Structure 1
Amino acid sequence: MTIGNAIAGTTATEIADSVRELVERDTLAPGELLPPVRTLAEELGVNRNTVVAAYKQLAQAGVVVSRGRGGTRVARRAAVAQEGFAQGTVLRDIGTGNPDPDLIPDPTPALARIGRRTVLYGEPVIDRGLEDWATGWMRDALPAAPEVRLTITGGASDAIERLLAQALTRDDAVALEDPCFLSSMNIVRLGGYRPVPVPVDAEGMTVAGLRAAVDAGVRAIVCTPRAQNPTGASLSPARAAALREVLADHPYVLVIEDDHFSLLSAQPFHSLIGPGHRRFALVRSVSKFLGPDMCLAVTASDPDTAQRLATRLSPGTTWVSHLLQRLAVAQLTDAAVTDGIRAAGAHYAARNAAFARMLSAAGVPTTPGDGLSLWVRLPVAAREVTAQLMRRGWLARPGDEFILADTDAASHLRLTVHDLSDSDAARLASDIHAAVEAARHHESGMIAP
């Protein structure tokens, strides 16, 4: 039996599901070539556009890869880029995106204060203390919204995944920043949605990019209002106002704002959500300042989105542990902890700025943004520089891991350097300069010294 004869269906979804099943059963192996569109359409007795739509669905889900004249092939099972430490390396990892563990507050004193109270099925899913504290925190950020309701999820990525799932169906278009946060990129791809890239500059999402995305029919927008990952960009007041103007005629497009750096940020918060917007969600995780293992985020959204989000939570874990919720609010209402969070934010900003100055002095001009990492533009391809840095004992993260369409990001590194000592930082700056020079020699066909 030929591959074409094994594929069945008369609609795009049926054909795509048939190919998925063949891949899952290993009938179609990674790298195997699928029939040309015209051939498969004739064998199935369907319009060519139906097969095109099926292959498009499969490509968006990462099942196949289109190579133009090279045809459509089953995707190889490559590892998906993830945030955090690289496993099994002896190199100094400078691409983690992690906070400094020494700046995460010790939860022991708060644990002793939260007390023991058993929570049973059917009780309110938001702990009263956290709700009281978070209401002010979130409401102050959305003064133009007529009404907001709170939902607690197991982190920002959990919230974004569930928010998109309650609003979208497969192949719906989602506007994402480009370059993009890895988690948001993976959520969209694995959900089978269609990512529409919106370029990011020093002031955040570009107006022209968002307008083009809206014109392309996006049903949701995921935006980072400050400390955008990986670039460190934050929305300026003028940019936020211009983006709200673009969205004014599209009040039912779901706007999700991931304010992941929140209490650590040195930048003011400016929102895309205007007074007339009907579908919105502001998500704030505690991971960057209370620790990733807290697995807790607060979402403030319009009532309808909140209800749909609660419905998405109900089939599985219906609430985030009240122990975690009480621990979070016990720390966030402790003056010593909040002073420590502010000090941590100042530390990240100072260390990143100091390293940017070192890099600039070494011949690699760098401007620090907000956040845990630096986005460093290189005069050569970043992949070659990372290879050179590995020879010098460093494991860096190249910009092409964050790309949707912006090929310029391939000439960037995202570096997490706030925990380096002064001597290690100076050595890294020198090694990056040397790696760039070696990459230049390599690109020009010369042998590096």
Structure 2
Amino acid sequence: MESLTSRLGRWSAGRGPLYLLLAARLRQMIEDGLLRPGAALPPDRTLATALAVGRSTVVAAYETLRQEGKITRRQGSGTRVAEAALSPVSNTPEKATGPTGVRDTSNPLFLHLLEPAHDIIMLSCAAPAGPPPQLVDAYRSLAFPSDADLGYHPAGVPALREEIAARFTARGVAIGPEHILVTTGAQQALSLLTRHFVTPGDSVLVEAPTYAGALDVFREAAGVPLPVPAGADGIDVTAAERAMAAERPALGYVISCFHNPTGGVLPPLAGRRLVEAARRYGVPLIDDEVLAELPLSGPAPRPLATFGDVISIGSLSKLLWGGLRIGWVRGEAGLISRLSRLKALHDLGSDVPTQLAAVRLLTDLDELLSTRRARLRTCHDHLRAELERLLPSWHCPPVPGGQTLWARLPHGDGTSFAQLALRHGVAVLPGAALDITGHSNAYLRLHFLHEPAVLTQAVERLAHAWHAYRTAPPQPRTGAALNAIVV
């Protein structure tokens, strides 16, 4: 059930009766091979509850597909995909997972990017909108390399590696450029590290909740996430030590500073314990620093890497603009050399003009971040004030940094409410997409990157959706009227 509701994605974001929108999405999944012939579909009431719609919406959607020959419905055996439901072009198992069995994504975060909708306020994808003017200036003033430069730099343009290394040194981690690999965003950095360390069946220590994109990467590599609770003070280090001692995972992944989604920060003493435990049990430890330089006040906490052998990943995409696909890995020189060879297999190196522009941006990054932090602080306070005004029953504590709030609903679950919120014009990320333990079902992740006026409109839409969620969902027309619509 959870897999189906996740893969349904933004099914309710179009125009028209809900039962037709649901039927259209299920039809597409059947024709694409994501629902195989003979596969059982959830009972009417079960699916209706998961999607926060009336039972008659599901009944009408199923009936539409039954009339088309896409599904069969029999008392005692339930609802199943018809044996001849697939179209000829998708009648192969490769359609479901790709030609080599590679998984695609059902992550709502990515589906919101893959399936954009009109007039939806996006509180789900937390990335800065629009390039800063300094990026435009950086491109205008590019100084390209000499004619002798082929433009292939698998490890990254030397000048950029030097700038990133210098920034780590200034933050208390003294390194040279040989310790830096430039990647196409932090997502590629995480993918390369996973390919290097994780083989099918290996366990990967993760926080619960954590960044949903990381879970997708580990699953794509056939790794088995090993969850450890995380909260306002970061990962539960005692539980992490026990998990490492018992399971000896192939990799550990944490967000020690301004955790995504909770906003938590791992205290220094706990950070030292975690690093020492990873060393003791031979677990390579990744610290995702994508948000580490976004405190809402005061200086950023010291990097986890100051305590020992930690692999750091970072990015300019969250600091400046999502379209600036510059990320990096910081690690031991031998690891960087091996990752560079692995990256060369995939793309021979990231885009050179973008790297050259990034060199210019890094020289002015402190000034750029000062402006961005002030704006984030204003928007953080505004979003919390609007939530308190219109949704006072929600629990939404302040965060010390980053760009998201972790809101707990007083009742119900985030997945079903997220579907209902989408129909009211606002996309939010349910906690279930971020936590494989199921303990975050009552949570939503909300970002505060929009302008205050847009955040106010988003909360107003959430309030209308919450009112509808607390009452019985409206029922679509049934009986003769429904049959007339179907005909």
Do they superpose with TM above 0.5? yes
Relative to structure 1, is the Cα distance of residues 107 and 225 closer, same or farther in structure 2, using a 3 angstrom cutoff? Answer: same
Asked if 1 retains the 8 angstrom alpha-carbon contact of 2:198 and 2:221, the reply is no
Match of 1:193 among 208, 215, 223: 223
How far apart are residue 142 of structure 1 and its match? Answer: 5.5
Relative to structure 1, is the Cα distance of residues 88 and 354 closer, same or farther in structure 2, using a 3 angstrom cutoff? Answer: closer
Relative to structure 1, is the Cα distance of residues 232 and 196 closer, same or farther in structure 2, using a 3 angstrom cutoff? Answer: same
Relative to structure 1, is the Cα distance of residues 148 and 31 closer, same or farther in structure 2, using a 3 angstrom cutoff? Answer: farther
1:47 paired residue number: none
Which letter does structure 2 place at the counterpart of 1:297? Answer: G
Relative to structure 1, is the Cα distance of residues 115 and 345 closer, same or farther in structure 2, using a 3 angstrom cutoff? Answer: same
How far apart are residue 141 of structure 1 and its match? Answer: 4.2
The yes-or-no answer on 1:386 pairing with 2:418 is: yes
Which letter does structure 2 place at the counterpart of 1:81? Answer: P
1:29 paired residue number: 36
How far apart are residue 271 of structure 1 and its match? Answer: 4.1
CA distance in 1 between counterparts of 2:363 and 2:210 reads: 33
How far apart are residue 365 of structure 1 and its match? Answer: 2.9
Which letter does structure 2 place at the counterpart of 1:310? Answer: S
Instruction: Please tell me the root mean square deviation across aligned C-alpha atoms, in Å.
Output: 3.3
How far apart are residue 438 of structure 1 and its match? Answer: 4.1
1:246 paired residue number: 277
Asked if 2 retains the 8 angstrom alpha-carbon contact of 1:397 and 1:414, the reply is yes
How far apart are residue 236 of structure 1 and its match? Answer: 2.4
Relative to structure 1, is the Cα distance of residues 332 and 272 closer, same or farther in structure 2, using a 3 angstrom cutoff? Answer: closer
Match of 1:82 among 109, 118, 122: 109
Match of 1:220 among 226, 229, 251: 251
CA distance in 1 between counterparts of 2:374 and 2:472 reads: 39
Relative to structure 1, is the Cα distance of residues 178 and 275 closer, same or farther in structure 2, using a 3 angstrom cutoff? Answer: closer
Deviation by residue 1:422-444 (Cα, 9 ceiling, x = unmatched): 3x53454354345445434449x
Deviation by residue 1:364-392 (Cα, 9 ceiling, x = unmatched): 23113222222111112223433443443
2:370 paired residue number: 342
TM-score, normalised via structure 2 length: 0.68
2:10 paired residue number: none
Name the SS for the 2:440 alignment partner: helix
Asked if 2 retains the 8 angstrom alpha-carbon contact of 1:230 and 1:374, the reply is yes
TM-score, normalised via structure 1 length: 0.73
Deviating more after overlay: 431-440 vs 351-360: 431-440
CA distance in 1 between counterparts of 2:285 and 2:374 reads: 30
Which letter does structure 2 place at the counterpart of 1:181? Answer: Y
Name the SS for the 2:261 alignment partner: coil
Identity of aligned residues (%): 20
1:268 paired residue number: 300
2:162 paired residue number: 132
Name the SS for the 1:414 alignment partner: strand
CA distance in 2 between counterparts of 1:386 and 1:131 reads: 41
How far apart are residue 191 of structure 1 and its match? Answer: 0.7
CA distance in 1 between counterparts of 2:444 and 2:158 reads: 43
2:125 paired residue number: 97
Name the SS for the 1:425 alignment partner: helix
Relative to structure 1, is the Cα distance of residues 306 and 31 closer, same or farther in structure 2, using a 3 angstrom cutoff? Answer: farther
Asked if 1 retains the 8 angstrom alpha-carbon contact of 2:290 and 2:318, the reply is yes
Deviation by residue 1:282-330 (Cα, 9 ceiling, x = unmatched): 1111111332222211221012321221221232323223322211011
Deviating more after overlay: 320-329 vs 79-88: 79-88
Match of 1:318 among 337, 345, 348: 348
Larger relative contact order, structure 1 or 2 (CA cutoff 8 Å, min sep 6): 2
Relative to structure 1, is the Cα distance of residues 283 and 31 closer, same or farther in structure 2, using a 3 angstrom cutoff? Answer: farther
1:41-190 counterparts in 2 under 5 A? 79-83=106-110, 85=113, 87-102=115-130, 104-117=132-145, 118=147, 119-120=149-150, 125-141=155-171, 143=173, 149-190=179-220
2:446 paired residue number: 415
CA distance in 1 between counterparts of 2:157 and 2:102 reads: 45
CA distance in 2 between counterparts of 1:261 and 1:172 reads: 28
Relative to structure 1, is the Cα distance of residues 218 and 442 closer, same or farther in structure 2, using a 3 angstrom cutoff? Answer: farther
Asked if 1 retains the 8 angstrom alpha-carbon contact of 2:287 and 2:312, the reply is yes
List gaps (5 residues or longer) in structure 2.
Answer: 1-32, 41-95, 474-487
Which letter does structure 2 place at the counterpart of 1:244? Answer: V
CA distance in 2 between counterparts of 1:314 and 1:377 reads: 43
Asked if 2 retains the 8 angstrom alpha-carbon contact of 1:199 and 1:206, the reply is yes
CA distance in 1 between counterparts of 2:247 and 2:37 reads: 32
Deviation by residue 1:66-94 (Cα, 9 ceiling, x = unmatched): xxxxxxxx999884433454624234233
How far apart are residue 272 of structure 1 and its match? Answer: 4.0
How far apart are residue 227 of structure 1 and its match? Answer: 2.4
Match of 1:294 among 316, 324, 328: 324
Asked if 2 retains the 8 angstrom alpha-carbon contact of 1:85 and 1:96, the reply is no
Name the SS for the 2:346 alignment partner: coil
How far apart are residue 147 of structure 1 and its match? Answer: 11
CA distance in 2 between counterparts of 1:427 and 1:101 reads: 17
Name the SS for the 1:294 alignment partner: coil
Asked if 2 retains the 8 angstrom alpha-carbon contact of 1:357 and 1:366, the reply is no
1:396 paired residue number: 428
Which letter does structure 2 place at the counterpart of 1:161? Answer: S
How many residue pairs get aligned? The number is: 373
Which letter does structure 2 place at the counterpart of 1:330? Answer: R
How far apart are residue 164 of structure 1 and its match? Answer: 1.8
CA distance in 1 between counterparts of 2:105 and 2:162 reads: 45
Asked if 2 retains the 8 angstrom alpha-carbon contact of 1:31 and 1:76, the reply is no
Relative to structure 1, is the Cα distance of residues 161 and 124 closer, same or farther in structure 2, using a 3 angstrom cutoff? Answer: closer
List gaps (5 residues or longer) in structure 1.
Answer: 1-25, 34-61, 64-73, 444-449
Asked if 2 retains the 8 angstrom alpha-carbon contact of 1:358 and 1:426, the reply is yes
